A = this chain, B = another copy of it.
Amino acid sequence: MTINRPETSPSLDDEDLERIHAWWRAANYLSVGQIYLMDNPLLREPLRPEHIKPRLLGHWGTTPGLNFIYAHLNRVITARDLNMMYVMGPGHGGPGPVAAAWLEGTYSEVYPDISRDEDGMRRLFTQFSFPGGIPSHVAPETPGSIHEGGELGYSLAHAYGAAFDNPDLVVAVIIGDGEAETGPLAASWHSNKFVDPSRDGAVLPILHLNGYKIASPTVLSRIDPDELESLLRGYGHTPYFVEGDDPEQMHRQFAAALDRALDEIAAIRARARRDGAAERPRWPMLVLRSPKGWTGPTEVDGHRVEGSWRSHQVPFGNARDDASHRTVLEQWLRSYRPEELFDGDGAPYPQIADLHPSGDRRMSANPHTNGGGGLRPLRMPDFRRYAVEVTEPGATVAESTRILGHLLRDVMAENMTSFRVFAPDENNSNRLDAVLEATDRAWALPITDLDEHLAPDGRVMEVLSEHLCQGWLEGYLLTGRHGVFSCYEAFVHIIDSMFNQHAKWLKTTNAIAWRYPIPSLNYLLTSHVWRQDHNGFSHQDPGFIDHVVNKKADVVRVYLPPDANTLLSVADHCLRSRQYVNVIVAGKQPQLQYLSVDAAIAHCTKGIGIWGWAGTDCGREPDIVFGCAGDVPTLETLAAVDILRRLFPELAIRVVNVVDLMRLQHADDHPHGLSDADFDALFTRTTPVVFAYHGYPWLIHRLTYKRTNHANLHVRGYIEEGTTTTPFDMCVLNRIDRFHLAIAALDLLPHLRDAAAHAREQLKNTLIAHRQYIRRHGEDMSEIRHWRWNAPTDDPCEAVSPVQDIP
């Protein structure tokens, strides 16, 4: 196998080289300054201890490589008038893009106090990794970035997400060789099988082989070169390698490689857009093998630094107190010859600024990286059109997510360049197949007769990787487009940490004035815990909600629509929203439908409410309150009410259904939270409450422990019991079924006494009979499977509106 090395570029003349090199020196100077200095930014005097920060926090190792790449990208952006953005996987090279944005002027535009002069440079240096300043990683605060570089592994997926439906964009993504060891990054290489060169932008991966991570060499830097090339070709790329440490040679090689890659991208685009989907392209990519801590000190205290893991973070730590370290630092800084780079006021000389593209072409100012700015709201069809007809509650059956699929189909059809749905091979399993009437699944590999609904320009993104679905969607949202991620509830935990980082991004950007709001990240969690009776225990986990509600209240929302029309109303709301993570949990199996679309809208608008039609309190003070959140808990609650009202017609039962989970929390703790007065009006101050909840029951306690009536709140939910069994048995195992709920209520109603004891016995026998039945027949008893809500024939109340107001 021959290693693909580009020829020296004829396009890079000596003047270009000089300019690129000067810019690189400037960016490196500013990077070192950010890590070390809090004063004397232009080295007007010899470094003194008080010029050095007391705590040195930052990462030098990868930074010069990032700066090198940035300089070269600037050349080609200008030469080719490219619409280019960057994603920096080695986010701990944070000083690099900050330096670039300052040199390009963007930094001072968005942070006027960080001016492009000596004062500004001092503040630029001081603020880095400093209280009240900016983080050490590429972060929301960094202009031009859509990628928080603190947690590694998501850069390539973010880059593809940004490229989808941006036909003119080129996303340069720098992948660190440490990051490349992570699972999500390893899977992301195959994203090129989901890109359409006609419709999508291009991703240019630049694998940056630094050699070391924190303390050890990296796998990709140490495997044989032919093995690495084989791997990258196996990923479907044509790789070009640039290796060395001599700047001049490296500049020439890298420029040539970059030109070659961009020529190929241009050719792929032209061919696809001229001839339509032809042969599958092999997208080019670059490999830059350069020393870790390149241009930094060669040796400090007798230890090799440049080219070694020792330059990963701060190459030497005692510059404030140790004069010899300070000398090394000063020599290092002066090696970039700052006097040739910055004028007397501290502003970069024109020779530096000349390299910059202007305006929106600057990568630090590319509008796609502040995606909310160019955001087009979704064209939304009226969701009422898709409603299930519900003439009386609980009599008809529908698959709620299938109904939602109809809405999503038409959202797709109306927004064919700004909306996508993402699923780990579960779109149809989750009953969203109607979407495939409007588009196909994206697939750039060969298609056979046996395949269905695959096309290079499909807009349903299916790959068996939750990480890729999430990463692509994040990149898509961060560049101002819209989407939904439908996922098996249990397996959304695979991206817990990615959710964390996105929620943190949203929280942080809420406080950054120049960042525009972006569309919300919408999860549809279906195939949920109660209906994974067939797949068993491994597929049963409702804990993502617990994970989500730990994040800041102003960025997270959780909805548990109990039927199709409430799901439509919630989905419509979520798709229109900005800057949230919306979690919608809804079942895909046939289930009872309760609310007409108007009633659903009224209910969802409140987010929580008394279901007068289901209760028997009729405005009286209730003897018992049933709370419910989630489709299956709602079903079992209604069935429990049905049992009780037949046994004890005189009992005043209230049913409170919760769609918007955060209504349970106090108004002080969440923007959706109810006031205590409103909460008490629903759940009373003293009446016992049996609350059937979709997930782990203690979450309800965590949300309500401050409420007046909390001591009387008895929550049932998933208590980590399950296996392969029947749907109803899943409820029985976790004691959230109708019989257990009715028994729980009876236990709380001492005045019923002997009558209750008798009823309890009867219900327990029914449960025993159930277990015997399913072990014999393998399915639930017919009266369970076919149970329907029947309005009481002797209605205890006068006409009660379908959704009663909070009293």
| Residue in B183, B463, B726 whose CB lies within 8 Å of A184 | B183
CB–CB B468/A216 < 8 A: no
State in angstroms the CA–CA spacing of A451 and B232 once bound together. Answer: 26
Tell me whether A76 is interfacial, beta carbon within 8 Å. no
Contact with B along A424-443 (1 / 0, CB 8 A): 01111100000000000101
CB–CB B445/A223 < 8 A: yes
Contact with B along A701-714 (1 / 0, CB 8 A): 11001000010000
CB–CB A427/B215 < 8 A: yes
Minimum C-beta distance from A226 to chain B (A): 9
Minimum C-beta distance from A655 to chain B (A): 24
Counting chain B CB atoms within 10 Å of each CB, which of A227, A425, A710 scores highest?
Answer: A425
Tell me whether A150 is interfacial, beta carbon within 8 Å. yes
Minimum C-beta distance from A261 to chain B (A): 19
- A200-216 residues with Cβ-Cβ distance < 8 A to B are 213-216
Tell me whether A764 is interfacial, beta carbon within 8 Å. no
Contact with B along A492-513 (1 / 0, CB 8 A): 0110110011001001100000
Contact (A535, B463) CB under 8 Å given A425-B213, A450-B308, A720-B551: no
State in angstroms the CA–CA spacing of A729 and B55 once bound together. Answer: 14
State in angstroms the CA–CA spacing of A448 and B222 once bound together. Answer: 10
Tell me whether A454 is interfacial, beta carbon within 8 Å. yes
Tell me whether A152 is interfacial, beta carbon within 8 Å. yes
CB–CB A230/B233 < 8 A: yes
Q: What B residues does A675 contact at CB under 8 A?
A: none
CB–CB A463/B696 < 8 A: no
State in angstroms the CA–CA spacing of A452 and B310 once bound together. Answer: 11
Q: What B residues does A393 contact at CB under 8 A?
A: none
- A373-402 residues with Cβ-Cβ distance < 8 A to B are none
CB–CB B231/A778 < 8 A: no
Interface residues on A, range: 35 or more
- A525-569 residues with Cβ-Cβ distance < 8 A to B are 534-539, 541, 543, 546-547, 550-552
Tell me whether A134 is interfacial, beta carbon within 8 Å. yes
Contact with B along A114-149 (1 / 0, CB 8 A): 000000000000100111111111010000000011
Q: What B residues does A235 contact at CB under 8 A?
A: 231, 234
**CB closest residue in chain B, given A149:** B538
Minimum C-beta distance from A250 to chain B (A): 20
Minimum C-beta distance from A155 to chain B (A): 13
Tell me which of A10-18, A185-193, A251-259, A585-593 binds B.
A185-193
CB–CB A183/B465 < 8 A: yes
CB–CB A217/B454 < 8 A: yes
CB–CB A725/B131 < 8 A: yes
Tell me whether A267 is interfacial, beta carbon within 8 Å. no
| Residue in B129, B448, B547 whose CB lies within 8 Å of A543 | B547
Contact (A450, B139) CB under 8 Å given A496-B496, A725-B131: no
Minimum C-beta distance from A317 to chain B (A): 12
Minimum C-beta distance from A124 to chain B (A): 15
Contact with B along A154-182 (1 / 0, CB 8 A): 00000000000000000000000011011
CB–CB A150/B535 < 8 A: yes
| Residue in B214, B468, B541 whose CB lies within 8 Å of A183 | B468
Minimum C-beta distance from A589 to chain B (A): 12
**CB closest residue in chain B, given A493:** B497
Minimum C-beta distance from A305 to chain B (A): 10
Q: What B residues does A791 contact at CB under 8 A?
A: none
Tell me whether A307 is interfacial, beta carbon within 8 Å. yes
Q: What B residues does A443 contact at CB under 8 A?
A: 216-217
State in angstroms the CA–CA spacing of A734 and B792 once bound together. Answer: 53
CB–CB B441/A216 < 8 A: yes
Tell me whether A38 is interfacial, beta carbon within 8 Å. yes
Q: What B residues does A186 contact at CB under 8 A?
A: 183, 186-187, 189-190
CB–CB A181/B547 < 8 A: no
Tell me whether A6 is interfacial, beta carbon within 8 Å. no
Tell me whether A446 is interfacial, beta carbon within 8 Å. yes
Minimum C-beta distance from A230 to chain B (A): 4
Q: What B residues does A55 contact at CB under 8 A?
A: 534, 726, 778-779
Q: What B residues does A576 contact at CB under 8 A?
A: none
Tell me whether A464 is interfacial, beta carbon within 8 Å. yes
| Residue in B187, B308, B450 whose CB lies within 8 Å of A182 | B187
Tell me whether A698 is interfacial, beta carbon within 8 Å. yes
Minimum C-beta distance from A127 to chain B (A): 10
State in angstroms the CA–CA spacing of A232 and B235 once bound together. Answer: 10
Contact (A223, B193) CB under 8 Å given A504-B538, A538-B504, A724-B133: yes
Given contacts A129-B724, A231-B233, A550-B720, 20 further A-B contacts (CB under 8 A): A132-B775, A133-B724, A135-B537, A136-B535, A137-B536, A139-B537, A150-B536, A150-B537, A152-B464, A178-B425, A186-B190, A193-B223, A213-B425, A214-B425, A217-B443, A217-B454, A219-B463, A223-B236, A304-B450, A701-B702
- 10 of the cross-chain contacts (CB-CB < 8 Å) are A135-B537, A137-B538, A150-B538, A181-B190, A183-B186, A213-B425, A215-B428, A223-B445, A227-B234, A230-B231
Please list the residues of chain A having a beta carbon within 8 angstroms of any beta carbon in chain B.
38, 53-55, 57, 126, 129-137, 139, 148-153, 178-179, 181-190, 193, 213-219, 222-223, 227-236, 304, 307-309, 425-429, 441, 443, 445-446, 448, 450-452, 454, 462-468, 490-491, 493-494, 496-497, 500-501, 504, 507-508, 534-539, 541, 543, 546-547, 550-552, 696, 698-699, 701-702, 705, 710, 720, 723-726, 729, 771, 774-775, 777-779
